[in-house]
Amino acid sequence: MSERIFMKGCEAIAETAVRAGCRFFAGYPITPQNEIPEYFSRRMPEVGGKFVQGESEVASVNMVYGASCAGVRCMTSSSSCGIALKSEGIAWLAASCLPSVVCNVSRGGPGIGSIQPAQQDYNQATKASGNGGFRMLVLAPSTVQEAVDMTYAAFDYADKYRKPVLILVDGFIGAMMEPIDLPPMKTDAELAEIRETKKSWAPIGKKGGPLHIVLGGVGLSKLRLQDLNKQDEELYEKWKATETDVEEYMIDDADYIMTGYGTSARIGKSAVNILRSEGIKYGFIRPRKLFPFPEESFQKLDYSKLRGILGVEMSIPAQYTEDVRSIVAGRVPVRTSLRSGGEIIERADILDAARLLAQEV
């Protein structure tokens, strides 16, 4: 049975992680994700888990590396520049095929930037969360309920593929409160069963069994590193077929498409109905996963009838919309409605940009 409760985004993410079986969290304070480690610090002792406030972001992510090696469901979180500091550790998690969950409650940038919400970490999340060209599943909720659902699923994704999984939310979703349905708590028996599946690779105590070495992928097989890179490439291609997740709203008869993710999509989608009432037929494409990118949603559009696309995001310059442009490949004009630096995108601005596109194209 699910449990209905009114909860803040960051705290809902932390509670959901506990219910999904997370029993180790290491992190370091940074706004606007501070409520995540604060919540874990209170909650973990209640379920027999461990919370550590590391001396830095670097220390914290490497503690998660150790916990994952031991077969424990584990997580870390930070905001933007803090995730940048964790990037080497995240790369090690990817290279060593260690399941883990990373949450970025993003803020303005570049650099330290502002502590207010922004979506300026798209490129970092989808293309460069660390060195070596690895990719992660990137989950992008637009509501607190979706943040709950995606956090619960993230631990299963991580274990299924033996890879880190990234949850990308902005500070708006992290700070807002909404009514949510919390998922059930994993039982001790369920967690023991999950851990049992990791005995073939996790160095959790030899006890007369085989020796397991987890070190940057090298210890996983006798393959050379290039061959391991090729295995990852095959996995990423598989994800395109099996893990693409996108919402398509009123696109069948649309003359124009609006697109965005997270908070921007939430606000932009509300503009579609207003535009429709004015006789301007917009539809909306919203990726729930940013990687793999929903290429098919854009490829299947009827470009003989479609007149234009409007990207909405809280990033200047645009990042997500550049990926849209690369897929559209000049078949129709692609315009933008943008905010950045902690300024929440406003529906009035989106409506103005959408009407202007309709007038000009």
What is the per-residue pLDDT across 307-331, written as a single tens digit (0 to 9) for each? 999 999 999 999 999 999 999 999 9
Kindly state whether residues 232 and 250 are assigned to the same domain.
no
| 195, 131 contact by CB (below 8 A) | no
- Per the structure, the complete domain to which residue 39 belongs is given by 3-242
3 state DSSP class of 107: strand
Give the ranges where 248-319 is alpha helix by DSSP (H).
262-277, 295-299
Kindly state whether residues 98 and 216 are assigned to the same domain.
yes
CA dist 261 and 247 (Å) reads 10
Q: Exposed, middle or buried, 115 (CB in 10 Å: 0-12/13-18/19+)? A: middle
| 151, 143 contact by CB (below 8 A) | no
| 185, 51 contact by CB (below 8 A) | no
**Domain end marker among 242, 267, 288:** 242
3-state helix, strand, coil split of the chain in percent (to 5) is 45, 20, 35
CA dist 1 and 355 (Å) reads 45
Is pLDDT larger for residue 200 or for residue 267? Answer: 267
Q: Against a cut of 0.85, is the pTM above it?
A: yes
pLDDT at residue 204, as a whole number: 73
CA dist 101 and 94 (Å) reads 11
Kindly state whether residues 250 and 217 are assigned to the same domain.
no
CA dist 320 and 333 (Å) reads 16
| 311, 259 contact by CB (below 8 A) | yes
The tens digit of pLDDT for each residue in 47-76 reads 999 999 999 999 999 999 999 999 999 999
| 186, 13 contact by CB (below 8 A) | no
**Domain end marker among 242, 273, 293:** 242
The total number of structural domains in the chain stands at: 2
**Domain end marker among 184, 218, 242:** 242
Partnered with residue 139 across adjacent β-strands are 167, 289
